[in-house]
Structure 1
Amino acid sequence: IVSPGNSLGYLGGGLDKHIGEIFSPNKNHKDVERFILDGLNNGYRPPGTVKIITIPNEKLRRSLAFEKLQANSIIHAPTMRSPINLVKDLGESHAYRLIFDITWQILTEVDAFNKNLHIKGGDRIETIVLPGLGTGYGKIPYEMASKSMLAAV
């Protein structure tokens, strides 16, 4: 499941909070937030970069994400450093390119993750749950985000 939040990896609001809740057996996003923060480089990922964070199965066997989706990875793909209106602050063409680039990077990272499994072991990522990138706090119109994301796919 793609978490399109901010660079700091906090899951305190919007879609990220719900992602944290479905990955936690206790429905507490703070439990999952700790795994995200531990998985980030010194607690920060620049917008446009992607990090796949696998949560140990023993930690989420009773979570909704694992029970219903067999999901054990969160794909952290920050769309912004902190909450901003992406179109207003960056401009329409830059926001479109940013969403395209992030989508492309998500697909590239998942492909590399799956190719490395013969070395590391583990479960392949077969399905990606990809929400509208930048459409929440980023205020990118749904149509613009969907066109940009589809162009990358």
Structure 2
Amino acid sequence: MLLVKMGDITEEDCDAIVNPANSLGIMGGGVALAIKKKGGEEIEKEARAKAPIKLGQAIATKAGKLKCKYVIHSPTMEKPAQKIPLENVRIATRAALDLAKKLNLRSVALPGMGTGIGGISYEDAAKVMVEECRKFKDLEIRLVAFDPTFYKILKKLVEKNG
């Protein structure tokens, strides 16, 4: 099931939320920083202890004070604050969802992958994310948009393709 929500991903009550990470596990900006601020420093400490995380891989950490059970860290970039190619959005989305399946999770929430620091447009990221999410029919996937424009783009794409 694929759902689109407007809101703050750090407030999601599900099995896991996804952090569009860097390979070093540093949570210094964007969604990563919001997760660290709300969930606690221990999330970053655990992620950095498991680094480096290659593009195309994902790791899970405990979720600290967040409502979810896990944070899945799936790199969209190697180093913090890099601009990325669109293919990294596809690779990171797939890696996060593959790990959710391996962990036997039922529900996972994703923010815009690569839409902040990575510099990918909302339209391009939404198209690729929805394509990848549709391959995981047995997972409840929540696409959580913090920005109303991104929400509308996601909603339109999901409704258009059923």
Q: 1:146 aligns with which of 107, 126, 146?
A: 126
- 1:39-78 equivalent positions in 2, closer than 5 A: 40=50, 43-55=51-63, 60=64, 63=65, 65-66=66-67, 71-78=68-75
Equivalent residue number for residue 35 of structure 1: 46
Over aligned residues, Cα RMSD in angstroms? 1.5
TM-score normalised to the size of structure 2? 0.65
What one-letter code is carried by the residue in structure 2 that aligns with 1:96?
L
Q: Distance in 1 between matches of 2:77 and 2:119?
A: 11
The structure with higher relative contact order (CA 8 Å, sep 6+) is: 2
TM-score (norm: length of structure 1): 0.69
Per-residue Cα deviation, 1:120-151 (whole angstroms, up to 9, x for no partner): xxxxx332110111111110001100000111
Which residue of the partner structure matches residue 21 of structure 2?
5
Q: Which is strand-richer, 1 or 2?
A: 2
2 CA distance for matches of 1:81 and 1:101? 13
Unaligned runs of 5+ in 1: 25-29, 87-94, 115-124
Task: Tell me what 1:22 maps to.
Answer: 38
State the identity as a percent: 29
Q: Which amino acid aligns with 1:79?
A: T
More helix per residue: 1
Distance 1:84 1:37 in 2: 18
Once the two structures are TM-superposed, the CA of residue 113 in structure 1 deviates from its matched residue by 1.0
Look up the match of 2:91.
101
- Secondary structure (helix, strand or coil) at the match of 2:22 reads coil
Give unpaired runs (5+ residues) of structure 2. 1-16, 134-162
For 1:89, the equivalent position in structure 2 comes to: none
| Structure 2 residue aligned with 1:111 | 101
1:139 and 1:5 map into 2 onto residues whose CA distance is 14
* CA drift at 1:98: 2.5
Structure of larger gyration radius:
1
State how many pairs are aligned: 116
Consecutive aligned runs of 4 or more in structure 1 exceeding 6 Å deviation: none
